[in-house]
Amino acid sequence: MKRFSVLLTVLLAGSLLFSHMALRAQEAEANYNEAKVPRYTLPEALVCLDGSAVADSQQWFARRRPEILKLFRDQVYGHAPGRPEDVSYRVVESGEAFDGLAVRKQVEIKLRQGGKKLSVGLLLYIPTERGKTGAPAILGLNFAGNHTLSDDPAIILNTNWMRPRKDSGIVDNRATEAARGTSSSRWPLETILRRGYAVASAYYGDIDPDFDDGFRNGVHALFDKRGGGGQRAADAWGSIGTWAWGLSRIMDYLETDSDIDHARVAVLGHSRLGKTSLWAGAQDQRFAMVISNNSGCGGAALSRRAFGETVARINESFPHWFCENFRQYDGRENSLPVDQHLLLSLIAPRPVYVASAEDDRWADPRGEFLALKNADPVYFLLSGDTLAAAAMPQVNQPVIGRMSYHLRSGGHDVTAYDWDKYLQWADRYIGRR
């Protein structure tokens, strides 16, 4: 058994390293020439499948919004189940943090379905000074474990599968003390807390490990009824669907915590977790605001532009992220019944922020801007607001409003600049009261 486990680890490491090398090769071959972007026509946000026009908010919420949601579930992200049959919450650790600035709370969320169970570890930092209704919060999944958000020694080390280190070919099956605080630049906790916001985060691998194993681990294992074999449905949820589902399960908990004002929770994500935050916010209207940071293809960027990462490339590199039906649009983006402007439209009239990076051409910054701009008709119908920019803004010239966008200098990351803009924006809509 031990020999088999070692062999499996080696094979998985090799597979992940090969995938990384293949992704680098694809990035080098990608189209970055605007002149080569194919002609395309976007599906109309305010025209129903039967050709009738949406005239008011009632028709949007009763007819068009459910249509669009179903199309994304059928063709892109897959259908997720509802809440599991049994959920329990347990505070496993709490204490003062950052010299009294905040209270730290670590919660075990235990999910049970059909005799199977899964635990998700939630890390919460809550400002000591908060209003009577609790603190507004920013919720986001993390890539490498809760212990990487801060060097706080009280944060519990994760014992689940860890993402491999880039280019190493090594699968990190256990977290180490050396990893504490290694993602802190992406999570400026004290800055956020001083602004009056709580921070809630969980490791995305607790929900579903990020590799292709035939959808038999993580949350998939709780709901998979195939037993020893059988074919998955072509519209069954992929990993982005599971991570989004997990964000909603965390929101379920936040609704029970009196330290958090659950009516003022923003959901945030970067890269693949930016795709996740958009899909979570599109489905779950309990999220008051939605933030997409460098989410690219399958996130905020228009698929039809086929610029940088394409549908075919993302399905080849990450076959577990989307539903099987999405593969039929490899190289056939114009055949998609949806595009990402419709995903952003599903968030309306709630505030949405899409952020791009100048050097992150793989994520197609222009495609991200154009998707947001093409969500204008729905936002105008429901709130009277539109994106306050007729053309893509210059670098480091943010456009802030109910629909917000910025293109910052630099590459694929979450930076202090991003957080400064997000917090300024959040102050308008969910800040201290």
Domains and CATH numbers, the chain: 2-429 (3.40.50.1820)
Task: Give me the pLDDT at residue 20, please.
Answer: 52
- Strands 260-270 and 352-357, by their bridges, are unpaired
Q: How wide is the angle at C-alpha 327 spanned by C-alphas 323 and 330, nearest 5°?
A: 145
What pLDDT does residue 243 have?
98
Which band of pLDDT confidence, cut at 50, 70 and 90, is reported for residue 24? low
Least confident of 25-29, 63-67, 115-119, 170-174: 170-174
Please provide the average confidence, as pLDDT, over all residues in the chain. 92
398-412 pLDDT, tens digit each: 999 999 999 999 999
Average pLDDT for residues 8-33, to the nearest whole number? 60
Average pLDDT over residues 125-145: 95
How far apart CA 104 and CA 94 sit, in angstroms, is: 5
Q: pLDDT value at position 1? A: 46
Buried b (16+ CB within 10 A) or exposed e, 131-157: eeebbbbbbbbbbbbbbbbbebeebee
> How far is the C-alpha of 297 from the C-alpha of 303, rounded, in Å?
6
Q: What is the DSSP letter of 325?
A: G
Structural tokens at position 11? 């094979």
Q: Select the more confidently predicted residue: 216 or 367.
A: 367
Handedness of CA 341, 344, 349, 353 (dihedral sign): negative
Strand partners, 96: 103
For the cut 50, the answer to whether the pLDDT of residue 4 exceeds it is: no
Question: Mutual orientation of helices 272-283 and 239-254 as an angle, nearest 10°?
Answer: 60
| Mean pLDDT confidence for 155-165 | 86
pLDDT in tens, 324-352: 999 999 999 999 999 999 999 999 999 99
Q: How confident is the model at residue 168 (pLDDT cuts 50, 70, 90)?
A: very low
How do residues 222-263 score in pLDDT, each as one tens digit? 998 765 567 899 999 999 999 999 999 999 999 999 999 999
77 Ramachandran zone, left/alpha/beta (phi>0; psi -120 to 50): alpha
Kindly list the catalytic residues: 271, 412
Q: Is 382 helix (H, G, I), strand (E, B) or coil?
A: helix
E strand segments, 74-184:
86-97, 102-113, 116-127, 135-142
pLDDT at 7 over 70: no
**What are the distances in angstroms from CA 302 to CA 67, 78, 269, 370?**
19, 19, 18, 7
Confidence label for 12 from pLDDT (cuts 50, 70 and 90): low
pLDDT reading at 19 higher than 60 = no
Across the range 300-329, mean pLDDT stands at: 98
